[in-house]
Structure 1
């Protein structure tokens, strides 16, 4: 019993090691990996090589599939090019299985020691995240050694040997078991390495091991389909097309498995090497066979999984892709795009204020006030999406971006609330009472409204690009807008002294409206603060020392 428990623990350590390496590499290179993939989509062969290189780092074709599937879902890349990337990604995992098949017992303690030192000493830096990856690599090699040690007593057991001899030589059953194990472990690499180790210890016949390897490849395709099952049809195209390649390859390989086994025995001396080289050969053959059919299969899956019609009034693009949560840098980009969409809705509301005031349009006012519900829903959705991103998986720069997005969406939500109240006031105090602003008062409101729209566009640019110069310009607008508010309030009071009838009737609304527009501008300008603070462009206090000195001397 203790030997079986040791074996299960070693298998769990192997799966955990591959998980640590996958998540660690995505933390360190997440955005760079996306850039490498995105820049290689123009031609099939470079796309395949990019998939091979990225997956050799990530050690998970499923993780690569999720990243590229999100690109397909957003229309950034064609399905055919993405399928070429996945052919290379499958070769990448197979290549890593070959690397780990060598005797790396001397490397395991070194990787774990160096990784722990780097992680503990500089946990929140890039070096700390690299240390995390080294720990994962060390755990993988250690787990393989423990599996060998745990299987040795089991192989000497008469009961186990009798069980192995009685195993049915059913290739379909072997493939099914391999696929199920891969889905359960969430790693085809771990299952292939486990299968090779057990076969080398005599726990598995070589023919059964090869069948399990085919099943592991099918299981990795099923994993990607399960991970994207709740996503849009565009996102599900890539996992489906990749699974079709694997399924076709498995159907071709299964009848030839006996001949392949004999050929491997003549070329490769050990069972362990036979298993991992078969895994590599299977994926290389798939790539060579199907690289010319990526366009055909891409068109097939695009016809099967059509983009849903967006003709309905409530339909709109959705950027909060749940699949992207597996890649923190990609999820941050999704949240930023949705935040900009929220700002677009706010801009529509803000633009509508002036037509409502000019034309006394009650219907438009009601439509614009209902849009605040959309702004609130977007805020809640973005906030919930961001909370699902692991803070530990974010780099320092991505952590700052996470905070910027939260701050931006809060400001947009509050601006939406202010606009809703402004529209309600205009409706109650002007339209329903059939009042109107004086020509001078209306000109002041138009001028403030025009500056506010310009500042909103500038705030969106600052949020998108993070340029310090634009952030400084936005903050300067806060002082200008405050001066205009004081000037126009004084002008209004002067008109009251002149007994201008229209100014008297709309005095309360006019002053409240100017104040509300200033509050909106303050929320827009606050978007510049995180950018300027990160750049060290903010002073510690806004109070001038020249104004403090007389008070200090008097005291």
Structure 2
């Protein structure tokens, strides 16, 4: 093959592969954006039973066209305390799902290709909602994948006439391990075993790839397809890393078993279809069916094995730092928002502990407890910065209206939590430290008022996070009602305190000021927590535009009386002093 011709073939081949990967990515991201919440709910329900998990894994992967995306979803559920066994069953189903997609795309769908592209473009540009726009992208992505496969077949046809390329490809037949590593590397770089299998099938269909080499490359593609999920979760908790590791073990064992039996297994494949493309795609399907038959009954022992290989970490000094903000999940808004939500909850736990430590220091007269609050506030600031940066990156994606609203809500509430931490560290803890260092003893009634206000704020913190998670109008209304109740509690405590001051002649003013400032800070903490309710009630139309009363128009008689009253009020000028 001439050098210039070879360069043209390579460019066309790379363009076809790039278009194939783009179509796969478009379908995956659009489905997650449009139906990510429903997919997660179905996955969540399936995790209680390995057979249901296996079936749902097939269905979800057929939709997403990515076993890696399904693996990351399974890991997110494993992180919530679910057993690794159903997650492993789900991934076995995901492997079957990729074979079904490969079967469908390897068929002769030449007439469907222009129809899908035309329909997808029309639906995208005429969409009346975000979901219709995503549906248009899904249809367009499928059409582009079919077009890409045709380009790959056409571009690779001249490779049959190149003696050099045929020699290199044929030599791989004598080096099956090297061929498996090459297939695994291509699959890893493409982050898709499906794309690699389709590439091998297209090359086989053009006659440029020897059939026996294609079988070994498909084994490598299945092995390499498990690696992206491994690397994406490498720094995550052991529970998150276990399902991808188990999937890699399954595929590795399957390749080791299949390699010596390759000639025996492939000898009867022509009976199901003599074309090279049909034999290759059928081999891919039967390999993954064999994995499911072999390992589905063994998911429980496999779960114990990966748990032994990846035991729970011992708690260390850094265990409370942010750890769920997985950047690889940014292309999946539903997963990314769940990751951010988990970190917001952990940030809330830190703040709850800070407030409790402050009140405990006052109750137990122990100033040393307050020393940890500054360290905790630094950690809260770190949470705020990392969550804000993560959500800012996420907001640059195509999220859809609902996910974008959640993203903005999480960012706003995280900022309020950071302000809350500043109140505790810079004001409340300082007030309590001064109270203890000056050996001030609050009256029993005043101390009880502080404890009651703190207890109410604690309950409101739990309610605020409930509102953030479920977004229910009823809970949001209850949170604002509790804000009003806490304001009344503060007013009652202040009035009772002032009555006691009037009854006591020699009551120190410092004691009173510290008590009132502590009440004020606890109320301020509650106000920041209640902020999460406002956007929910605003969307529901349950908020007034302003809390100010509407000004009434004065009649001419009222204006005359008002002007006469104003004239009777003496005013001080620069030349005259007001009367003493």
TM above 0.5, one fold? Answer: yes
Query: Aligned in 2, Cα 1:538/1:56: closer, same or farther, shift over 3 Å?
Result: same
User: Aligned pair 1:226/2:231, yes or no?
Assistant: yes
Q: Deviations over 1:482-510 (max 9, x none)?
A: 45545554555555555543352323323
Q: CA deviation at 1:52?
A: 0.8
Out of 307, 320, 323, which is 2:324 matched to? Answer: 320
Tell me if the contact between 1:437 and 1:502 (Cα under 8 Å) persists in the aligned partners: no
Tell me if the contact between 1:66 and 1:326 (Cα under 8 Å) persists in the aligned partners: no
User: Aligned pair 1:261/2:266, yes or no?
Assistant: yes
Q: Secondary structure at the match of 1:348?
A: helix
When structure 1 is superposed on structure 2, of 83-92 and 378-387 the one drifting more is 378-387
Query: 1:47-446 counterparts in 2 under 5 A?
Result: 47-76=53-82, 78-122=83-127, 125-157=130-162, 160-161=165-166, 169-310=174-315, 312=316, 315-316=319-320, 320=324, 322=326, 324-325=329-330, 327-389=332-394, 391-420=396-425, 421-428=427-434, 430-446=435-451
Q: CA deviation at 1:375?
A: 2.5
When structure 1 is superposed on structure 2, of 90-99 and 22-31 the one drifting more is 22-31
Query: Aligned in 2, Cα 1:117/1:367: closer, same or farther, shift over 3 Å?
Result: same
Q: CA deviation at 1:347?
A: 2.3
Tell me if the contact between 2:331 and 2:397 (Cα under 8 Å) persists in the aligned partners: no
Query: Aligned in 2, Cα 1:508/1:2: closer, same or farther, shift over 3 Å?
Result: same
Out of 15, 24, 27, which is 1:21 matched to? Answer: 27
When structure 1 is superposed on structure 2, of 120-129 and 31-40 the one drifting more is 120-129
Tell me if the contact between 2:169 and 2:213 (Cα under 8 Å) persists in the aligned partners: no
- Which residue is 1:46 aligned to? 52
When structure 1 is superposed on structure 2, of 366-375 and 286-295 the one drifting more is 366-375
Q: CA deviation at 1:294?
A: 1.6
Q: Secondary structure at the match of 1:506?
A: helix
Aligned residues: 551
Query: Aligned in 2, Cα 1:542/1:199: closer, same or farther, shift over 3 Å?
Result: same
- Which residue is 1:454 aligned to? 459
Q: CA deviation at 1:314?
A: 5.7
Query: Aligned in 2, Cα 1:42/1:500: closer, same or farther, shift over 3 Å?
Result: same
Distance 2:80 2:256 in 1: 33
Q: CA deviation at 1:457?
A: 3.1
Query: Aligned in 2, Cα 1:135/1:550: closer, same or farther, shift over 3 Å?
Result: farther
- Which residue is 2:571 aligned to? none
Q: Secondary structure at the match of 1:225?
A: helix
Q: CA deviation at 1:128?
A: 0.9
Tell me if the contact between 1:18 and 1:136 (Cα under 8 Å) persists in the aligned partners: yes
- Which residue is 1:473 aligned to? 478
Distance 2:201 2:391 in 1: 41
Q: CA deviation at 1:297?
A: 1.9
Unaligned runs of 5+ in 2: 1-6, 563-580
Distance 1:216 1:441 in 2: 71
Distance 2:282 2:345 in 1: 49
- Which residue is 2:578 aligned to? none
Q: Deviations over 1:154-173 (max 9, x none)?
A: 43456555655666532222
Q: Deviations over 1:288-343 (max 9, x none)?
A: 12212222222111111111122x46644966252654532123223223222322
- Which residue is 2:572 aligned to? none
User: Aligned pair 1:538/2:543, yes or no?
Assistant: yes
TM-score, normalised with respect to structure 1: 0.91
Q: CA deviation at 1:254?
A: 1.6
Distance 1:449 1:289 in 2: 58
Query: Aligned in 2, Cα 1:222/1:333: closer, same or farther, shift over 3 Å?
Result: closer
Query: Aligned in 2, Cα 1:488/1:330: closer, same or farther, shift over 3 Å?
Result: same
Tell me if the contact between 2:173 and 2:213 (Cα under 8 Å) persists in the aligned partners: no
When structure 1 is superposed on structure 2, of 324-333 and 46-55 the one drifting more is 324-333
- Which residue is 2:8 aligned to? 2
Root-mean-square deviation (CA, aligned residues, Å) is 2.7
Distance 2:88 2:141 in 1: 29
Distance 2:166 2:318 in 1: 64
Unaligned runs of 5+ in 1: none
Rg larger for: 2
Query: Aligned in 2, Cα 1:179/1:358: closer, same or farther, shift over 3 Å?
Result: closer
Distance 2:377 2:321 in 1: 18
Q: CA deviation at 1:399?
A: 1.9
Q: Secondary structure at the match of 2:174?
A: coil
Distance 1:416 1:138 in 2: 52
